[in-house]
Structures are given as C-alpha cells and as structure tokens.
Amino acid sequence: MKRTVLDYALKIRLPLTLFVVAVSVILTFYFSRAERDSVGYNPEQPIKFSHKLHAGQMAIDCQYCHIGVAKDRHAILPSVNICMNCHTVSRKDRPEIIKLTQFYTTGKPIPWKRIHKVPEYAYFNHSVHINKGIDCASCHGDVKQMDLVSQVKPFTMTACLDCHRNSQAQLPYLKTVRNGPENCWACHR
Ligand code: HEC
Ligand code: HEC
Ligand code: HEC
Ligand code: HEC
Ligand code: HEC
C-alpha cells in the first residue's frame, strides 16, 4: 500500500508539479517582457558625467547638448567640443576632466554606452514628438535628478501604442493633442 502511494507521488505527482512550475515560469517570463525591456538599465559611463549637476543644478538646457532633438530623428549626444566650451577652464585639474581633455586633444569620440534603443525595424522620430510639446520626462523620466542616466519606461510596441491610442490622457499637461498613429507602416517603414 505505502509503496503504491510513493509510486504515485514520484511517477504522476512529481512530473505534474514540475510541468506546472515550468509552464508558469515560461508564462511569467513572456508576459513580464515589458518590465524587462531595458527598464532600469544604467551602465557605468566612460566619464562620470552627471545630468543632476549639469541639467539640474546648473540648469543647462537639454538642447544645448542634445542638438538634434527638435529637428531630427535622433537627439544626438554632444561632441567633446561642447563640453570643452566650459572645461578648458572649469575643474580642469580633476581626474575626470583630465580624462575628458585627453579625448579632446586626441580627437577620439567618447565611447558613451547607449541606453535607450528601439530595434532597426521600428521607426521613432524625436522631432515630431518634441514639436507637439511632449516633454522629455514623459518618456525618459526626470533626467534632471539623475547622476547616472537610467531607462525608466519600456519602449516596446505596447508602450508606444498605449500613448498613441490615448494621447490626451497620457499627456494631461498639453491643452490639445491628437492621437499618434496606430497603422503598422507609420512605425515599420
Ligand atoms: C552638458 C551636456 C548635457 C545636457 C545639458 C544634457 N545632457 Fe543628456 N546626455 C549628455 C551626455 C554626455 C550623455 C551620454 C552619457 C550619459 O548617458 O550620461 C547624455 C545622455 C542622455 C540620455 C541617454 C541617452 C541614451 O544613451 O539613451 C538621455 C535620455 C538624456 N541625456 C536626456 C537629457 C535631458 C532630458 C536633458 C535635459 C533635462 C539632458 N539630457 C541634458 C549630455 C547632456
Ligand atoms: C556650461 C558649462 C559646462 C558644460 C557645457 C559642461 N560642464 Fe561639466 N561642469 C561644469 C561646472 C561648472 C562643473 C563643476 C560644478 C561643481 O562642482 O559645482 C562641472 C563638473 C563636471 C564634472 C565633475 C568634475 C569633478 O569635480 O570631478 C564632470 C565629470 C563634467 N563636468 C563633465 C562634463 C562633460 C562630459 C561635459 C560635456 C558632455 C560637460 N561637463 C559639459 C560646467 C560645464
Ligand atoms: C515620445 C517619447 C520620447 C520623448 C518625448 C523624448 N524621447 Fe528621447 N528617446 C526616445 C526613444 C524611443 C529613444 C530611442 C530612439 C532610437 O533608438 O532610435 C530615445 C533616445 C534618446 C537619446 C539617445 C540618442 C538618440 O538620439 O537616439 C537621447 C540623448 C534622448 N532620447 C534625449 C531626449 C531629450 C533631451 C528629450 C527631450 C527634449 C527626449 N529625448 C524626448 C523617446 C523619447
Ligand atoms: C507619451 C506619448 C507618446 C509616446 C510614448 C510615443 N508617442 Fe509617438 N506620437 C505621439 C503623439 C502625440 C504623436 C503626434 C500626433 C499628431 O499630432 O499627429 C506621435 C506621432 C508619432 C509618429 C508619426 C510621426 C510622423 O512622421 O507623422 C510616429 C512614427 C511615432 N509617433 C512613433 C512612436 C514610437 C515608435 C514610439 C515608441 C518607441 C512612440 N511614438 C511613443 C505620442 C507618443
Ligand atoms: C507606434 C509605433 C508602432 C506601431 C503603430 C506598430 N508598431 Fe510594431 N513595433 C514597434 C516597436 C517600437 C517595436 C519594437 C518593440 C520591442 O523592442 O520590443 C515593434 C515590434 C513589432 C514586431 C516584433 C515583435 C515584437 O512584438 O517585438 C512585430 C511583428 C510588429 N511590431 C508588428 C506590427 C504590426 C503588424 C503593426 C500594425 C498592426 C505594428 N507593429 C504597429 C512600434 C510600432
């Protein structure tokens, strides 16, 4: 009698339990894709540049450095020259600024690590969003408070469409805004 109970447990219950566990792991993995999509990604950068200091405390305008954001597809990262507008004089004896100056004098671009990225097969354009009055924080969070930039929102298709389907509700600070496109070829051209 005991033996058959154990047999049952090993031959039927155990595989069944394992199967249920495996399925739920796979399902959770699949459905939590949005949260895993780079949210929280904040790699160490080659130079300890702080947005909190420059864009927050010193209140330097985002577009002073991200010159493409209102007229191009890409926001563009600043060249070393823009940093050197100030750092030929400012804090030039500091180790991080000495590193910065070496990039400048050797003419090598700083290998900043890319944080936000949509795949090649999807089309995103900053200028169309910025020119409708959408602020950076709606998509990037409060960068002015970040010493190290971190992705705070997912950029999955669902995330794009969540705002496109209901833009006014997602952007309450705008007086009027039309919904964004939902047709496939708007974003897959
Ligand atoms: C003094 C120049 C400067 C200013 C001003 C500035 N940034 Fe940046 N930004 C940088 C540099 C350099 C990087 C790349 C290093 C890093 O990620 O910190 C960067 C990176 C970023 C990134 C991440 C890019 C990626 O790889 O995905 C975002 C988002 C961003 N900035 C938003 C902003 C916003 C929003 C503002 C205004 C509130 C702003 N920046 C102001 C220089 C600047
Ligand atoms: C408008 C002037 C200005 C620009 C442009 C600017 N900075 Fe600065 N930066 C400053 C000032 C001023 C400080 C010192 C602030 C303080 O310590 O209170 C500073 C501090 C720093 C520090 C910290 C230095 C330390 O004390 O260890 C780093 C690193 C830095 N900047 C990197 C950059 C980089 C990289 C860029 C270009 C993407 C840049 N800065 C562009 C004015 C500027
Ligand atoms: C509607 C959402 C949205 C808004 C608003 C937005 N961004 Fe972005 N940002 C993105 C997406 C999506 C990417 C990734 C783009 C890609 O991979 O082509 C990105 C990438 C970036 C990058 C990385 C380099 C690049 O050019 O792709 C920087 C820097 C940046 N944004 C800065 C800003 C700044 C500064 C503002 C405000 C002036 C801003 N963004 C407003 C969604 C947004
Ligand atoms: C916070 C809201 C918001 C988010 C997030 C957002 N969009 Fe938009 N998008 C808009 C609005 C608003 C419009 C413009 C509607 C109008 O006035 O025509 C727009 C317009 C567009 C257009 C049409 C541009 C054109 O050429 O006319 C494309 C393409 C687009 N978005 C792609 C994306 C992609 C890809 C993402 C995700 C990575 C995204 N958007 C995320 C609000 C958003
Ligand atoms: C507002 C912009 C936008 C629209 C409209 C849109 N897509 Fe996407 N799509 C994206 C983005 C951004 C990604 C990349 C998502 C990621 O990295 O997870 C994507 C990814 C995909 C993928 C890859 C699989 C996946 O889910 O990651 C497929 C397939 C796809 N889209 C098909 C479609 C079809 C079919 C339509 C029309 C019904 C459509 N898309 C409309 C932005 C859009």
Q: Encoding tokens for residue 87?
A: 């750092």
CB 127 within 8 A of CB 70: yes
CB 144 within 8 A of CB 50: no
**Per-residue model confidence (pLDDT) at position 35:** 46
CB of 112 closer than 6 angstroms to any ligand 1 atom: yes
Q: What span, in angstroms and rounded, lies between the C-alpha atoms of 45 and 112?
A: 6
Over residues 9-38, the mean pLDDT reads 66
What would you report as the CA-atom Rg of the chain, rounded to the nearest whole angstrom? 24
User: Tens digit of pLDDT for each residue in 5-16?
Assistant: 767 777 777 777
pLDDT score of 30 more than 90: no
CB of 76 closer than 6 angstroms to any ligand 2 atom: no
Ligand 5: distance of its center to the CA of 157 in Å? Answer: 5
pLDDT score of 116 more than 80: yes
Question: Which residue lies with its CA nearest to atom 17 of ligand 5?
Answer: 156
User: Tens digit of pLDDT for each residue in 67-109?
Assistant: 999 999 999 999 999 999 999 999 999 999 999 999 999 999 9
